[in-house]
Structure 1
Amino acid sequence: MSDNPNDLRDVQPSSFRHIIGQRHVTEALKIAVEASFQEGKKLDEVLLCGPPGLGKSALVSVLAQELAVPFTEVLAQSISNTAELNSVLLSATDGILFLDEIHLLNPTQQHSLLQVLDKRRIFLSGGKSVQSIPVAPFTLVGATTDPDGLIGPLIDRFRIVLHLDYYSLDELAQVVRQRCLALAWKYESDLPIEIARRGRQTPRIALRLLQSARRVAVSEGAEEITVAHLLKSCELERVSTEGLDNMQQKLLGLLGPSGQRLNVLASMLGVSTKVLTKTVEPFLLRHGMIVKSDGGVRLLTKKGREHLATFVTE
Structure 2
Amino acid sequence: MARERVIGPAPAGDDGPSKVDAALRPKFLREVVGQRKVAERLEIAVAASKKLKEPLGHIIFDGPPGLGKTTFATVLPNELGTSIQLTSGPALSKPADMLPFLTNLEEGSILFIDEIHRMPRVVEEFIYPAMEDFRIDIVLGEGMSARTISMQLKRFTLIGATTRSGMLSGPMRDRFKMHEHLEFYSVEELATIVRINAAKLNTPITDGAAHELARRSRGTPRVANARLHWARNYSAALHDGAITEAVAHAALDKAEVDADGLDKNDRRYLETLIDVFGGGPTGVEALAATMNLAADTLSDEIEPYLLREQYIVRSPRGRVVTPRAFAVLGRQSPPKPRPDGPGLFD
TM-score, normalised on structure 2?
0.83
* 1:275 matches 2:297: yes
Q: Residue 57 of structure 2 aligns to a residue in which SS?
A: coil
Instruction: Summarize deviations over 1:104-151 as a string: whole Å, max 9, x none.
Output: 111111111112212321111112221121112111111111111211
- In the TM superposition, residue 243 of structure 1 has moved relative to its aligned partner by 1.8
Partner of 2:114: 100
- In the TM superposition, residue 67 of structure 1 has moved relative to its aligned partner by 0.7
Q: Check conservation: 2:232, 2:241, Cα contact below 8 A.
A: no
Partner of 2:4: none
Partner of 1:243: 261
Equivalent residue for 1:89, pick from 78, 102, 106:
102
Gapped regions of structure 2 (runs ≥ 5): 2-17, 332-346
Structure exhibiting the larger radius of gyration computed from Cα positions: 2
Q: Residue 179 of structure 2 aligns to a residue in which SS?
A: strand
Q: Residue 211 of structure 2 aligns to a residue in which SS?
A: helix
Q: Check conservation: 2:63, 2:181, Cα contact below 8 A.
A: yes
Instruction: Give the Cα separation in 2 of the matches to 1:301 and 1:129.
Output: 61
Q: How does 1:1-314 map to 2 (within 5 A)?
A: 7-94=20-107, 95-127=109-141, 128-256=146-274, 258-260=278-280, 261-262=282-283, 263-296=285-318, 298-309=319-330
In structure 2, the CA distance between the partners of 1:221 and 1:142, relative to structure 1 (3 Å rule), is: same
Matched to 2:114, the amino acid is D
Q: Check conservation: 1:8, 1:183, Cα contact below 8 A.
A: no
Instruction: Give the Cα separation in 2 of the matches to 1:98 and 1:292.
Output: 32
Q: Which moved more, 1:24-33 or 1:247-256?
A: 247-256
- In the TM superposition, residue 69 of structure 1 has moved relative to its aligned partner by 0.9
Matched to 1:60, the amino acid is A
Q: Residue 204 of structure 2 aligns to a residue in which SS?
A: coil
Percent identity of equivalent pairs: 33
TM-score, normalised on structure 1?
0.91
Q: Residue 256 of structure 1 aligns to a residue in which SS?
A: helix
Number of residues paired by the alignment? Answer: 306
In structure 2, the CA distance between the partners of 1:43 and 1:148, relative to structure 1 (3 Å rule), is: same
Instruction: Summarize deviations over 1:85-121 as a string: whole Å, max 9, x none.
Output: 1232112222111111111111111111112212321
- In the TM superposition, residue 79 of structure 1 has moved relative to its aligned partner by 1.5
Gapped regions of structure 1 (runs ≥ 5): none
Q: Root-mean-square deviation (CA), in Å?
A: 2.1
Matched to 2:106, the amino acid is T
Instruction: Give the Cα separation in 2 of the matches to 1:255 and 1:43.
Output: 46
